[in-house]
Homo-oligomer: A and B are copies of this chain.
Amino acid sequence: MAKVIIVGGVAGGATTAAQLRRIDPEIDITIYEKGRDISYGNCGLPYHIGGEVAERDQLVAATPESFAERDVTVEIFHEVTAVDPDNRTVQVKDIRNDRTFDAAYDYLILSPGGSPRLIPALLDVPQAFVLHSLEHLDEIKAHIEEKNITRAVVVGAGYIGLEMAENLVHRGIEVTLVHRDTEIYRPLESDMSDFFMEELKSRGVDVKLDTEIVEVSGDTATLSNGEKIEAPMIIAGIGITPRTDFLEGSGIILNDEGYICTDKHGCTNKEGVYAVGDAIETNYHHVDRPVHVALAWGAHRMAYVISNQISGDSSVCFEGLLGTNIIRFFDYDIATLGLTEPELADYPHFVVDHRQKNKAGYMSDSVPIHVRAYVGKDDGKILRAVVVGTEGVDKRIDILSAHIRLGGTAMDLANIEVAYSPPYSSPKSVLNMVGYKAIEKMKKIHE
């Protein structure tokens, strides 16, 4: 009987195990997870702090026990420390018992995820946390309750930092946001980002830009600009690095940043070794360019692809990612897909901007929505799209995503038959209008 080892039991690993078991009731599956928990909704962690996820246990999708019922072995506190693809073995460290052993596999699925970054000044600071796992969530909650925390510092204004800030505010905690950059949320175009500062101010968040924490002493943090701020709790949300050190010497190819390179079957360069989740590099769907996207949709899709591959159906492929993503920030929804702004420089393009109400303009509660599309000059391909507004943003980015995946151009957007009724759209929707504008611009370019 074939033996499958899965490294990492959170999103990618647990989903692959579940999928594989569904397809193949016989295959031998073991998950090694270095942490305490498996299969929890880590995107939901901040929302439990804010109260939108009422019960912590709602975040737990599966446990070692529930996997055991499906005949999947889960070993927690077991860290895979080395991989030998030629002999098809992994080295495993049983952390609690401090012993190391080798385990053989026929198929190996790497789902190590990422490690949250921490700035040097926060190392060994007892009230400094990251929020990347259920363990972290429990630590933060315990700290808030034990110390009766009413003020906190959030480090970083990427999506994790912003979600943390929002949820702490929802919990009634006063927040200082410290951000090393001069701009909030870099993935969004700076000329579309004004609302972040307005929203932060209106929610009473004290924002310190262009500075960072250099020292923490007691409950006081000192910033690089000399300022001292109260910091009885600090949560850092400054991104992740792929947790792939253990692959050194394995011969498995990583990219320059340490992400595991995968092909359209989810396979690494080593036979029988697959990879899934936040630590992989894959390709864009719409252009031929590598990308790493630490988002759950891709992990779930790759889990399906890999489990089909291992079960013998190689027809199911991973067709690459658009990187479709969205964050909520208080009243705002911010969504993008496609290339990053710096990457766009390599592709001749024009820009279509359109603002329109999310529903019929005469409806009292209609609100503006702003769509920007970066359009390939030659073929009309949508290289990148951005949608910002306070309602209906998720709808527009998902339509764009579906449209682009099937080869729809910017001009084709004119032809999307939206469901029109005054509470939902205009007869010509905001995306139809982007399409009509793209048609006009394209005509001018090719006149």
Contact = CB atoms under 8 A, between A and B. Distances in A.
Interface of A: 11, 41, 43-44, 47, 51-54, 58-59, 285, 295-301, 304, 319, 321-322, 324-328, 333, 335, 337, 360-365, 392, 394-395, 397-399, 401-403, 405-408, 412, 414-425, 427-429, 432, 436
B324 A415 contact: no
Contacts of A414: 301, 304
A436 B22 CA distance: 13
A41 B363 CA distance: 11
16 contacts: A41-B362, A43-B360, A43-B422, A44-B362, A47-B422, A54-B364, A58-B362, A59-B362, A285-B417, A296-B420, A324-B417, A325-B421, A326-B421, A333-B424, A398-B429, A399-B399
Nearest to A320: B417
B423 A398 contact: no
When all copies of this chain in the complex are counted, the total is 2
Contacts of A420: 43, 295-297, 325-326
Contacts of A421: 43, 325-328
Contacts of A333: 424
A51 B402 CA distance: 35
A408 B360 CA distance: 28
Nearest to A440: B22
Contacts of A296: 420, 427
Contacts of A412: 406
Contact of A401 (B53, B417, B428): B417
Given A44-B422, A51-B364, A398-B418, 5 more contacts: A52-B365, A52-B422, A298-B417, A324-B417, A394-B424
A419 B326 contact: yes
A324 B418 contact: yes
Nearest to A322: B417
Contact of A416 (B325, B401, B408, B424): B401
A364 B285 CA distance: 34
Contact of A415 (B58, B399, B405, B424): B405
A297 B403 contact: no
Nearest to A298: B417
A253 to B, nearest CB: 25
A84 to B, nearest CB: 32
Among A337, A361, A402, A407, the one with the most B-chain Cβ atoms within 10 Å of its Cβ is: A402
A296 B418 CA distance: 10
Contacts of A418: 297, 324, 398, 401
A8 to B, nearest CB: 16
A200 B422 CA distance: 21
Among A51, A285, A397, A406, the one with the most B-chain Cβ atoms within 10 Å of its Cβ is: A406
Contacts of A11: 427
A62 to B, nearest CB: 13
